[in-house]
């Protein structure tokens, strides 16, 4: 991983700042909500104590034998529905409809209260509607039966009554009240029967004073007039359960103590809602600034999740059955909060039991929106997010810029160190050597090492000439002494030793000559007279000579032109080629082919025409570790067993190439090695 990516990862640590800020916001929001919850709980206790003074409003008139499910609930309606057999004008949702199993499908119904009237709406699934008349209300033997709906009214201990709705045809229906004295039409009751696909719908408006304290719905479904059909009822006991409705007195009392922006729900011990006061929408409308999507996402991710606010509203059935309300009805106060996933608006709800004489008679649910807390949290969170993003971008930009500068300095130092070894004279002054930081220390350390390496290389470069100069005089003395000994009378064994010594001095003289060759070439390059000549015929004649000298090798010469003019010394060029051919022969086997090629091309580095001379031979590849050293003095790539080779051939070739303004390189090719010499052309 490069330095930029490392510092970029380090810059991510700046995310700790917004994380710490978000943790603080989380704690602050939680503390504010807890404080609001405590204040709301105190208000709920005060309201519960006030309502406990009116226990008669919480009284449940149902006997112990009646089930809670037998009770009908009268929804408080905001407006009066039109009695037309349709539900679309009711100020309720379809979730308010209660279901019963029927013969041909479900039966759905609901009751509501507006002013002094009770409204009934019922949907009956009926595949075969049988209409009736007055005679079908009380069928006798052989009489007619019909589909009908009855509303059972009862006020214990008085006798029950029923209001029957039987249609002769779709449209307005005349309702009949049945009591122990018979049937009589109820002119104050308005009803409408509406046929729909798969059944019928009935809607009725009934004066409140005609009904008792207990109500139930009964549906009779028959397929023909001779059969009484099947009875479906909203109650499972013999008589219907109590009719539960809202208490105007409790609502009036609660309105006097309720603060703006709060909503109060009052339930009896069975959970039926008997009062609803206040509205949360007035406070929710105080938020004018919309919450952005990314801020909503961040808010949801950071803050403690709550239940959806849809669960905080009054239950559509009229009976509150949420766990925290059931807990309050059981005598223990509880609290919960709701949060919208879309808007983020939250509602704190507390449930407080209403007790009198150590008996729980109901519960109240007090709710208040947390829009002020949410608004404050959103504003703080927005400022924190914006500041954090800006800070992170600035820090990341600074670190990235610093990483770029740092990596550029290191790259320049690396490039300079590599180039210092490629030139003839090792450069010891590297970039950033004057800097006072760690890179400056590293640059100065590299410069010091390169300086020592340069001194050592210079010593090696001059070692051959020094040894040649220093050993020539002692070698001359030894040679002259051996010549004198040859004129003396010596034994046969002494003559043998003298001959061996003479052979050794001859070999030593050849070695010294080879060691001094590089120095002579350097002197020749300085003093040689240059001339303009064509390189092609020089190479052709020389290669023909190689064919005679190295008969065990085959030579090829390729040339892509007829004339290759250049300026220099033909003798030295031939000497350079001798070294390359000698190297190619040494590393190839008998029968191998040595290829020589000459071509004209453009030198991209100098934008001048040049000539390229290539010498390729099969053999082992060049060692990677020797690629930068093989043209140095006294460096040999031959096997260690060949201890007679001094490693001066390629060094001499490099001197000649450099002296002509060119350069020499060696590369591995498929199956062998190729040396390439680039020379300036005329």
**Number of C-alpha atoms within 13 angstroms, CB side, residue 40?**
29
Residue 212 pLDDT exceeds 50: yes
pLDDT attached to residue 11 = 66
Residue 357 pLDDT exceeds 90: no
* Ranges in the chain annotated CATH 3.30.450.20: 13-57+247-379
Residue 643 pLDDT exceeds 70: no
- Parallel/antiparallel/unpaired status of strands 107-114 and 98-100: antiparallel
Q: How many residues does the chain have?
A: 682
Q: What is the DSSP letter of 588?
A: S
Residue 558 pLDDT exceeds 70: yes
Q: pLDDT, tens digit, for every residue of 452-504?
A: 877 777 776 666 666 666 676 777 777 787 777 777 777 777 878 788 787 77
pLDDT attached to residue 65 = 44
Q: Which pair of structure tokens corresponds to residue 81? A: 């529905």
Residue 343 pLDDT exceeds 90: no
402/225: higher pLDDT: 225
pLDDT attached to residue 280 = 79
Residues 394, 396, 398, 403: what is their CA dihedral angle, to the nearest 10 degrees? -170
pLDDT attached to residue 398 = 77
Q: Residues 135-153: what's their mean pLDDT?
A: 74
pTM of this structure: 0.54
Q: Of 3.40.50.1220, 3.40.50.2000, 3.30.565.10, 1.10.10.10, which CATH number belongs to 528-680?
A: 3.30.565.10
| 3-class SS of residue 119 | strand
Q: Which pair of structure tokens corresponds to residue 118? A: 């009770």
Contact yes or no for 272/71 (Cβ under 8 A): yes
pLDDT attached to residue 381 = 62
Q: What is the DSSP letter of 642?
A: -
| 3-class SS of residue 183 | strand
261 band by pLDDT with thresholds 50, 70 and 90? confident
Q: Of 3.30.450.40, 3.40.50.800, 3.30.460.80, 2.60.40.1190, which CATH number belongs to 68-241?
A: 2.60.40.1190
Rg (CA), the chain: 56
Among residues 327, 373, 329, the alpha carbon closest in space to that of 348 is found at: 373
pLDDT attached to residue 141 = 41
**Average pLDDT of the chain?**
81
Among residues 116, 289, 92, 130, the alpha carbon closest in space to that of 211 is found at: 116
Which residues, in sequence order, are CB contacts of 512 under 8 Å at separation 6+? 467, 468, 471, 472, 475
Which residues, in sequence order, are CB contacts of 542 under 8 Å at separation 6+? 574, 577
pLDDT attached to residue 285 = 44
Q: What is the DSSP letter of 139?
A: -
Contact yes or no for 423/457 (Cβ under 8 A): no
290 band by pLDDT with thresholds 50, 70 and 90? very low
Residue 577 pLDDT exceeds 60: yes
Q: Residues 52-75: what's their mean pLDDT?
A: 72
| 3-class SS of residue 490 | coil
C-alpha–C-alpha distance, residues 662 and 679, integer Å: 4
**Number of C-alpha atoms within 13 angstroms, CB side, residue 127?**
5
C-alpha–C-alpha distance, residues 279 and 263, integer Å: 5
Of 7-21, 63-77, 404-418, 525-539, minimum mean pLDDT range: 7-21
Residue 351 pLDDT exceeds 80: yes
C-alpha–C-alpha distance, residues 273 and 318, integer Å: 6
Contact yes or no for 525/572 (Cβ under 8 A): yes
Q: What is the DSSP string of 449-481?
A: HHHHHHHHHHHHHHHHHHHHHHHHHHHHHHHHH
Of 303-317, 404-418, 527-541, minimum mean pLDDT range: 303-317
C-alpha–C-alpha distance, residues 548 and 48, integer Å: 125
pLDDT attached to residue 431 = 80
Contact yes or no for 201/124 (Cβ under 8 A): yes
* Ranges in the chain annotated CATH 1.10.287: 438-522
* Ranges in the chain annotated CATH 2.60.40.1190: 68-241
Q: pLDDT, tens digit, for every residue of 430-445?
A: 787 778 777 788 888 8
Residue 658: asked if its preceding bond is cis (omega within 30°), the reply is no
Roughly what angle, to the nearest 10 degrees, separates helices 371-422 and 16-51? Answer: 170
What is the percent of the chain where pLDDT is above 70?
77
Residue 203 pLDDT exceeds 70: yes
C-alpha–C-alpha distance, residues 225 and 478, integer Å: 153
650 band by pLDDT with thresholds 50, 70 and 90? confident
Q: What is the DSSP string of 401-418?
A: HHHHHHHHHHHHHHHHHH
Q: Which pair of structure tokens corresponds to residue 471? A: 């050993």
Domain 13-57+247-379, what architecture? Answer: 2-Layer Sandwich (3.30)
Which residues, in sequence order, are CB contacts of 503 under 8 Å at separation 6+? none
C-alpha–C-alpha distance, residues 565 and 679, integer Å: 10
309/385: higher pLDDT: 385
3-state secondary structure 669-681: ECCEEEEEEEEEC
Burial 127-160 (b: 16+ CB within 10 A, else e): eebbbbeeebbeeeeeebbbbbbbbbbbeeeeeb
Residue 100 pLDDT exceeds 80: yes
**In sequence order, what are the beta bridge partners of 122?**
109, 202
Residue 141, φ and ψ in degrees, nearest 5: -55, 125
Contact yes or no for 380/388 (Cβ under 8 A): no
pLDDT attached to residue 85 = 95
C-alpha–C-alpha distance, residues 94 and 135, integer Å: 35
Q: Which pair of structure tokens corresponds to residue 534? A: 């064509």
How deeply is 461 buried, as exposed, middle or buried, from its count of CB atoms within 10 A (0-12, 13-18, 19+)?
A: middle
Q: pLDDT, tens digit, for every residue of 619-638?
A: 888 887 666 677 776 666 66
Of 190-194, 299-303, 366-370, minimum mean pLDDT range: 299-303
Contact yes or no for 237/154 (Cβ under 8 A): no
- Parallel/antiparallel/unpaired status of strands 593-603 and 554-559: parallel
669/59: higher pLDDT: 669
* Ranges in the chain annotated CATH 3.30.565.10: 528-680
- Parallel/antiparallel/unpaired status of strands 554-559 and 230-233: unpaired
Q: Residues 279-303: what's their mean pLDDT?
A: 53
329 band by pLDDT with thresholds 50, 70 and 90? very high
Q: Of 3.90.120, 1.10.287, 1.10.3810, 1.20.120, which CATH number belongs to 438-522?
A: 1.10.287
Of 14-28, 243-257, 259-273, 590-604, minimum mean pLDDT range: 14-28
Residue 68, φ and ψ in degrees, nearest 5: -60, -35
Q: What is the DSSP string of 292-351?
A: PHHHHHHHHHHSPP-B-GGGTSPPTTSB---HHHHHHHTT--EEEEEE-TTT--EEEEEE
| 3-class SS of residue 287 | coil
pLDDT attached to residue 133 = 74
416 band by pLDDT with thresholds 50, 70 and 90? confident
pLDDT attached to residue 627 = 65
Residue 359 pLDDT exceeds 70: yes
Contact yes or no for 428/439 (Cβ under 8 A): no
């Amino acid at each position: 991983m490069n330095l930029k990516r490392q510092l970029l990862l380090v810059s991510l640590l700046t995310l700790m700042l917004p994380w710490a800020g978000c943790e603080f916001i989380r704690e602050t929001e939680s503390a504010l909500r807890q404080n609001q919850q405590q204040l709301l709980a105190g208000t709920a206790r005060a309201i519960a104590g006030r309502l406990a003074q009116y226990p008669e409003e919480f009284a449940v008139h149902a006997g112990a034998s009646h089930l809670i499910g037998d009770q009908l609930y009268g929804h408080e309606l905001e407006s009066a529905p039109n009695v037309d057999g349709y539900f679309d004008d009711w100020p309720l949702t379809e979730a308010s409809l209660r279901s019963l199993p029927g013969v041909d499908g479900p039966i759905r119904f609901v009751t509501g209260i507006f002013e002094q009237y009770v409204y009934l709406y019922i949907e009956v699934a009926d595949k075969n509607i049988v209409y009736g008349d007055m005679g079908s209300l009380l069928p006798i033997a052989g009489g007619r039966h019909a589909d009908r709906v009855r509303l059972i009214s009862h006020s214990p201990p008085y006798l029950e009554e029923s209001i029957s709705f039987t249609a002769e045809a779709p449209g307005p229906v005349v309702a009949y009240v049945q009591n122990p004295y018979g049937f009589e039409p109820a002119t104050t009751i308005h009803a409408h029967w509406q046929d729909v696909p798969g059944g019928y719908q009935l809607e009725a408006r009934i004066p409140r004073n005609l009904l008792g304290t207990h109500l139930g719905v009964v549906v009779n479904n028959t397929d023909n007039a001779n059969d009484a059909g099947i009875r479906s009822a909203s109650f499972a006991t013999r008589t219907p359960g109590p009719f539960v409705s809202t208490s105007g007195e409790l609502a009036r009392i609660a309105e006097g103590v309720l603060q703006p922006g709060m909503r109060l729900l009052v339930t009896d011990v069975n959970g039926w809602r008997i009062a609803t006061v206040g509205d949360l929408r007035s406070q929710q409308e105080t938020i004018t600034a919309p919450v952005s999507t990314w801020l909503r996402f961040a808010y949801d991710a950071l803050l403690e999740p709550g239940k959806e606010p849809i669960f905080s509203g009054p239950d559509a059935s009229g009976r509150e059955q949420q766990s925290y309300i059931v807990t309050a009805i059981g005598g223990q106060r509880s609290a919960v909060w709701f949060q919208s996933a879309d808007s983020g608006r939250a509602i704190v709800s507390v449930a407080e039991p209403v007790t009198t004489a150590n008996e729980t008679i109901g519960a109240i649910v007090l709710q208040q929106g947390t829009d002020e807390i949410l608004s404050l949290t959103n504003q703080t969170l927005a400022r924190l997010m914006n500041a954090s993003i800006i800070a992170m971008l600035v820090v990341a930009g600074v670190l990235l810029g610093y990483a770029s500068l740092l990596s550029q300095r290191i790259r320049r130092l690396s490039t300079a160190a590599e180039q210092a070894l490629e030139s003839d004279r090792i450069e010891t002054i590297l970039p950033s050597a004057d800097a006072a930081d760690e890179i400056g220390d590293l640059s100065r350390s590299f410069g010091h090492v390169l300086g020592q390496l340069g001194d050592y290389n210079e010593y090696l470069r001059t070692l051959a000439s020094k040894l040649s100069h220093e050993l020539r005089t002692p070698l001359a003395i030894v040679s002259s002494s051996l010549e004198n000994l040859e004129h003396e009378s010596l034994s046969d064994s002494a003559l043998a030793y003298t001959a061996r010594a003479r052979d050794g001095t001859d070999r030593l003289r050849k070695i010294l000559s080879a060691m001094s060759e590089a120095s002579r070439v350097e002197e020749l390059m300085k003093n040689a007279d240059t001339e303009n000549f064509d390189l092609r015929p020089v190479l052709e004649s020389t290669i023909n000579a190689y064919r005679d000298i190295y008969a065990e090798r085959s030579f090829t010469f390729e040339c892509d032109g007829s004339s290759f003019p250049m300026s220099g010394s033909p003798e030295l060029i031939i000497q350079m080629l001798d070294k390359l051919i000698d190297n190619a022969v040494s590393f190839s086997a008998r029968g191998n082919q040595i290829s020589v090629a000459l071509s004209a091309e453009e030198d991209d580095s100098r934008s001048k025409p040049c000539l390229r001379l290539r010498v390729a031979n099969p053999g082992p590849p060049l060692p990677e570790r020797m690629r930068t050293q093989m043209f140095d003095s006294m460096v040999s790539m031959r096997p260690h067993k060949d201890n007679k080779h001094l490693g001066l051939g390629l060094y001499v070739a490099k001197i000649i190439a450099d002296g002509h303004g060119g350069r020499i390189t060696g590369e591995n090719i498929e199956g062998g090695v190729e040396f390439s010499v680039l020379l300036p052309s005329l």
